[in-house]
Amino acid sequence: MKKVILALDVCNFKQAERLIKKTSPYIDIYKVGPILFIQSGKKIIKMIKENGKEVFLDLKFHDIPNTVKRSVESARDLGVFSLTVHSAGGEEMLEGAISVEKRPKIWAVSILTSQIVDLDEVIKKSKISKSCGLDGVISSPLEVKFIKKECGKEFSVVTPGIRFEKCYDDQKRVATPKVAIKNGADFIIIGRPVLESKDPVKVLKDIYKSIKI
Ligand code: C5P
């Protein structure tokens, strides 16, 4: 699968559709978060799948175990490829999430890449997620090597916080696509550097050139 996941952080269905048309040769998995899901819900998931692409539903569930388990069941019924939960929800919540039959891949947010934190805290959250049976974590590209060392190569690390220049927006723990992939990221997630570019396709082409895939 292609390594770049595009965050569809746009406001409406039409914008998402246009973006998918443009970028589909470069992207296998599109990320749908609350911005678009609240607006277009099931319709957006259906459209992405009809275009032959996978959906990563990034709603970051963080609730009591029963609610999270049932949310995972609902997401499974939509046919998404992967989804997120917050590792901070605790072990019972994480175990509830993974107990769902025929579930999508579940990746836990270690600690948001918009926060400055100690590596120890990230590793602790990653180890808890691994021991609860999750498929991987969402973490900064700067932490991938350490997480893989502690949790094993098979434990996926998916990295937002992808930036090329000094402009970090609200992200804090960032690196370039090249560094993320070199450090062992299974997928990189990118939003604004592509979405806000005048030429999103060129940005994607440049990313693939830089990671040589
Ligand atoms: O625009 P940008 O490249 O910062 O987008 C990153 C995307 O990844 C956003 O949709 C954001 O919600 C998501 N994300 C994140 N940090 C996490 C988990 C998800 O930035 N820990």
pLDDT digits (tens, 9 = 90+) for 24-65: 999 999 999 999 999 999 999 999 999 999 999 999 999 999
How far does residue 96's CA lie from ligand 1's centre (Å)? 24
Per-residue pLDDT tens over the stretch 189-201 = 999 999 999 999 9
Average pLDDT over the chain, rounded to an integer: 96
Of the listed 3, 31, 60, 148, which one is catalytic?
A: 60
State the distance from the centre of ligand 1 to the C-alpha of 113, rounded, in angstroms: 8
Largest CA distance in the chain: 45
127 part of the active site: no
Give the chain's domains with CATH numbers: 4-211 (3.20.20.70)
Per-residue model confidence (pLDDT) at position 165: 79
Pocket test for ligand 1, best of 59, 189, 190 (most atoms within 8 A of CB): 189
pLDDT of amino acid 213: 58
